[in-house]
Amino acid sequence: MWKNWRQLVQGAQKTKKTEEQKGTEILSPSAHVPAHVAIIMDGNGRWAKERSLPRIMGHRQGMQTVKRIVRKADAMGIKILTLYAFSTENWKRPKDEVDYLMSLPQEYLATELDELIQRNVQIRMVGKEERIPSSTLEAIVTAREKTKENTGLILNFALNYGGRNEIIDAVQQIATLIQDKQLTIDEITEENFSHFLYTANLPDPDLLIRTSGELRISNFMLWQLAYTELWFTDCYWPDFTEDDLEEAVRAYQGRSRRFGAITGGRS
Ligand code: FPP
């Protein structure tokens, strides 16, 4: 039964897996630069408010930061950059703001995709595709297809993403497999469970950055962050610079990651 694990996972996915998802192997983290950096890009609204601008102008400026930070992450040798662009809770915002936020991936890809392709970047998305406007989804799916063979930085947008939702989805898939007698209860291990998450085939983040001074996880990658190093800054996302990213990585390099053991190496 165990030998067929991968097949079981793929069969259990509610949405059809793309060729890109099927073919990807788990990446190994580098010793010095964190392989996987995840960012909660917070503070766009406050950035705008301080300038007496509408909130969407904060998000617009936040997109400019995304452009700079993607280039910098690539240059630093980061392998995976996961950006929390829209949470399942963000639907509670006014419609204008939701519409604007949902238009940003499309706008970003319209201006940046050529350069991303040149840089060998692979675009991915984690989150539920349902509810995402079709034009936004189309832009992401097209970018994903065009970049699926790329072997450089994985730029992973968390869009309509919720950590609890992701876990519930995984549990439902596993329960169905057990009901169908394709899986036994003792085969549910930590490693196997992670194959049912949206991030299957990706290593857990090594470093989580949250901007704007808030000290919360906000339903982001709840399972995956178990042993991630956390780094917080008061800086609002639109003001976040390449130097700030370097500072976060330096802080990470100075940490001793023990994963619950007594001894452990640096970073
Ligand atoms: C939280 O700030 C930020 C968001 C909900 C959206 C983040 C999106 C971007 C930075 C742009 C994404 C760009 C692309 C290309 C997808 P907030 O609005 O909650 O700020 P506040 O706490 O100060 O109000």
Which ligand 1 atom is the nearest neighbour of the CA of 159?
16
78 in Cβ contact with 69 (< 8 Å): no
Q: Give yes or no for residue 108 CB within 6 A of ligand 1.
A: yes
pLDDT higher than 70, residue 109? yes
Q: Hey, what long-range contacts does 19-26 have (CB within 8 A, 24 or more apart)?
A: 19/148, 20/122, 20/124, 20/144, 20/145, 20/148, 21/200, 21/201, 23/148, 24/201, 25/201, 26/201, 26/202, 26/203
pLDDT number for residue 256: 82
Catalytic residue among 44, 90, 150, 156: 90
Catalytic residue among 4, 42, 150, 192: 42
Give the C-alpha separation, 90 to 213, whole Å.
Answer: 19
Give the C-alpha separation, 75 to 156, whole Å.
Answer: 17
228 in Cβ contact with 206 (< 8 Å): yes
Q: Centre a 10 Å sphere on the Cβ of residue 242 and count the other Cβ atoms it contains.
A: 15
The Cα diameter of the chain in Å comes to: 60
Q: Each residue of 48-106: pLDDT tens digit?
A: 999 999 999 999 999 999 999 999 999 999 999 999 999 999 999 999 999 999 999 99
Q: Which of 39, 40, 42 to mutate to test the pocket of ligand 1 (most atoms within 8 A of CB)?
A: 42
Give the C-alpha separation, 36 to 56, whole Å.
Answer: 28
- State the CATH architecture for 34-162+205-253: 3-Layer(aba) Sandwich (3.40)
234 is catalytic: no
Q: From the DSSP assignment, how many helices (H) and strands (E) are in the chain?
A: 9, 6
Which 3 state secondary structure label does DSSP give 123? strand
The stretch 233-254 carries a mean pLDDT of 97
Q: Nearest CA to 227 among 255, 186, 195, 201? A: 255
pLDDT number for residue 258: 76
pLDDT number for residue 8: 57
Q: Give yes or no for residue 220 CB within 6 A of ligand 1.
A: no
The stretch 170-185 carries a mean pLDDT of 97
pLDDT number for residue 257: 81
pLDDT number for residue 23: 35
56 in Cβ contact with 4 (< 8 Å): no
90 is catalytic: yes
pLDDT number for residue 260: 78
Phi, psi of 31 (to 5 degrees): -70, -30
Which ligand 1 atom is the nearest neighbour of the CA of 65?
10
Q: Which residue has the higher pLDDT, 9 or 234?
A: 234
pLDDT higher than 80, residue 239? yes
Q: How far is the CA of 82 from the centre of ligand 1 (A)?
A: 14
Q: Each residue of 13-28: pLDDT tens digit?
A: 544 444 334 333 344 4
Q: How far is the CA of 24 from the centre of ligand 1 (A)?
A: 29
Q: Write out the two tokens for 55.
A: 């909130």
pLDDT number for residue 31: 47
